[in-house]
Amino acid sequence: MELINILVCDDDPVFLRQQADNIAVVLEKHHLLARVHTFSDKSDIPESLLQCCDMAFLDIDFPKAAFNGMDIARRLRLSNRDAVIIFVTNYVEYAREGYEVQAFRYLLKKEIPQKLEKCLLLGLEHLQTLRKTYPIQINRETIHLPVEDILYFESQKHTAVAYVLCNGSIKPYRFYGPLSNIEADLEQDGFLRVQKSFLVNMRHILKYQAREIVLTGDISLPASPKTYAELKQKFLFWKGRQ
């Protein structure tokens, strides 16, 4: 079982200690191996921790400081795109900044006794989804492609090509495998067969029109107009569940 790194940040030292204890109780109850790091000042948080942080419980308001929880969240998001961010606060504000940093949940401080456990477990489940990989065989070597980074699969005769985001560029991986099998494996993970030769990751769809689909990186692929209505519905419902 991998060690989970949990960051807790709050300007109230009493609450900070209590929160760390509450989280420890939940982790012990579910036999989860984790290290809880507590900070009351964002400048004390080392960059190395931000990079390996799996989950963060952040207070939004730091009245006596020049920063707030959003600043910490932004910094965390820059260093670590997978971290699950949960804002813990007295006053929930559904703000556009929350969307910017992909906040997972908002937890009211007075609801912590009732909701912390469920929130933490859901967060860990979400983390597993974010870190899911898809194994492919190339030259008898198994390569695990991060599902989040796969843009799309293309069928080319008897092979399939996976186009994967890698450090800002797109890297193709060619391997043997019918697209229908890949579709069956990844349908539940947000992949959509928009055309006979293309299986697309819905996370990366920027625009979906009747004959064209545009993905991250301005990649334009042809779409099947016959199945457009049905698939567009699927895409919209999937987007609503994210």
Partner 1 sequence: MELVFKYIGLAVQLLAVLVFCWGTPKKWYRIALSLLAGCAFVWLISNGFVLGVRSLFGLSLWDFQNRQLFSLAVISEGQILSFVGAWIVRQIRTGYQGGWLLLSLLFPILSMAALLVMLFTYLGRTDISETTFFTCCLLELSNLAALGVVHATRKSTLLGQEMVLLHQQLQIQSESIVSLEKSYRAQRQTTHDYQNQLLTVYHLLQDGKDGPAREYVGQLLDGQSERVFSVNTGNAIVDAVVHQKFQAAYQQGIEASFRGNDLSGIDMKMNELVVLLSNLLDNAIEGCGRYSGERKLECSMILQEGLFLSVRNTSPAVTVHGKYIPTAKEPKREHGYGLRTICRILDQNKAQYSFRYADGWFEFAAEIPNERAGGL
Residues of this chain that bind partner 1 (CB under 8 A): 90-100, 105-106, 108, 110, 206-207, 232-233, 236-237, 239-242
Give CA–CA dist 36/194, Å, rounded.
43
Residue placing its CB nearer to partner 1 in the complex, 97 or 183? 97
- Shortest distance (Å) from residue 74 CB to partner 1: 11
Closer to partner 1 by CB, 41 or 125: give it.
125
Minimum distance of partner 1 from residue 236's CB (angstroms): 4
Nearer to partner 1, 131 or 239 (CB): 239
Question: Least distance from C-beta 95 to partner 1, angstroms?
Answer: 4
Q: How far is CA 98 from CA 54, 60, 95, 128, 204, in A?
A: 18, 10, 5, 21, 20
Q: How long is the chain?
A: 242
Q: Which helix (H) or strand (E) holds 116?
A: helix 112-130
Hey, CA dihedral for 170, 146, 180, 241, is it positive or negative? negative
Q: Which amino acid is at 96?
A: R
Q: Which residues are CB-neighbours of 159 under 8 A, at least 6 positions away?
A: 174, 175, 176, 177
- Cα distance between residue 71 and residue 42, in whole Å: 9
Q: How far is the CB of 80 from partner 1 (least distance, A)?
A: 19
Nearer to partner 1, 110 or 157 (CB): 110
Strand 4-9 and strand 141-146: the pairing is: unpaired
Minimum distance, C-beta of residue 103 to partner 1, in the bound complex (Å): 8
Nearest to 40 by CA among 76, 21, 67, 2: 67
Residue nearer to partner 1 on the CB measure, 39 or 104: 104
Identify which of residues 28 and 187 has a Cβ nearer to partner 1 in the complex. 187
The CB-of-91 to partner 1 minimum distance in angstroms stands at 5
In the complex with partner 1, the residue whose CB is nearer, 157 or 241, is 241
Strands 141-146, 191-195: pairing is unpaired
Sheet arrangement for strand 169-176: 169-176, 159-166, 150-156, 198-201, 191-195
What's the token pair of residue 95? 């703000």
Q: How far is the CB of 231 from partner 1 (least distance, A)?
A: 11
